[in-house]
Structure 1
Amino acid sequence: MSYQKRIEELGLELPPAPAPAGVYKPVVVVGGLAYVSGHGPLKPNKTLTTGRLGLDLDVEAGYDAARQTGLAMLATLQSHFGSLDKVKRVIKLLGLVQCIEGFPDSPAVINGCSELFRDVFGEENGVGARSAIGTNSLPGKIAVEIEAIFEVDADA
């Protein structure tokens, strides 16, 4: 199945692919692996979800922010490769959650991105290894930052 078509079937709206906010590349491809730099919860209107989980945001709002972060990552992949169909599978996600000390639900927050990728790429190709870590600060006070490694068509 075409992942581009799956995005349409799910009724998903990708935000504009974000421009780098520093000295880095959004995607670096080495062999058949695409390393996607950390992304935040960029919305189609180009605003970001900000706040600290457990203080300003609840788990549901954090989940939505992680899902939106996943959509921003898909926009970057689509922009880089011209099509999401170049993606073979999710290898690894690293999710960072800006939260209060002792916040126990970082994995539940990052599920927003993990479940999105599962829905787009399927159970076998959309679920990879993952870490979900709470932190006291993220750039621009964003609620979530996620980076990923994808297996891609080696000719991409």
Structure 2
Amino acid sequence: MQVNGDQSSLRNHRERLEALGIELPSPPMPLGHYVETSLVGNLLFTSGILPVVDGKLMFTGRLGADLTIEQGREATRYAALKALAAVSHFLGDVNRIRKVVRLGIALVTTEDFTQHAGVADGASDLFAQIFGDEQGHTRLVTGVYSLPVQTPVVLDTIFEIVG
């Protein structure tokens, strides 16, 4: 079903998550004096989301040295799930998401690492599974020297919402 401006035509994202066998993790907690989500009009922004599982980083290290591309993909996918958890918690219903507008990913990498897009696809592929390929989103992926608390990945998002 195509998503258009009519709220009644929205997909049931909850059912799609269930069909994919995906359970949203607990929403992330801020590491400082900020909020995880901020609503402006019909756009919902998330802060930088880390791949934290049960209070611990999924991985630490640098892509291209300590971590494989697959580990990076797994970390970006999990950070995307945490972003969805933050949005679902804020909205009270994941079905209020119309689409992912933008995805930003910062990766801790070596100087010669060039597989940024492949790592970021961990998150993009997840969003395509849930919201459909036709939705699409813009994306910016960067390689950096360091990130907070030794995380190899920080992800931020902008979602369009309804209601």
Runs of 4+, deviation exceeding 3 Å: none
Q: 1:2 aligns with which of 1, 12, 17?
A: 12
Who wins on radius of gyration, i.e. which is larger? 2
- Identity value in percent: 36
SS at match of 1:39: coil
Length, aligned pairs only: 152
SS at match of 1:123: coil
Q: Which residue is equivalent to 1:68? A: 78
**Equivalent residues in 2 for 1:136-151 (5 A)?**
136-151=145-160
> How many Å apart are 1:42 and its aligned residue?
2.0
**Is the 1:90–1:150 contact (alpha carbons within 8 Å) kept by the matching residues of 2?**
yes
**Equivalent residues in 2 for 1:32-43 (5 A)?**
32-43=42-53
Q: Tell me how far apart the structure 2 counterparts of residues 32 and 124 of structure 1 sit (CA, whole Å).
A: 20
> How many Å apart are 1:124 and its aligned residue?
2.0
Q: 2:109 aligns with which of 99, 105, 117?
A: 99
Q: Which residue is equivalent to 2:90? A: 80
| TM score, norm. by length of structure 2 | 0.89
**Is the 1:94–1:146 contact (alpha carbons within 8 Å) kept by the matching residues of 2?**
yes
Amino acid at match of 1:96: A
Q: Which residue is equivalent to 1:128? A: 137
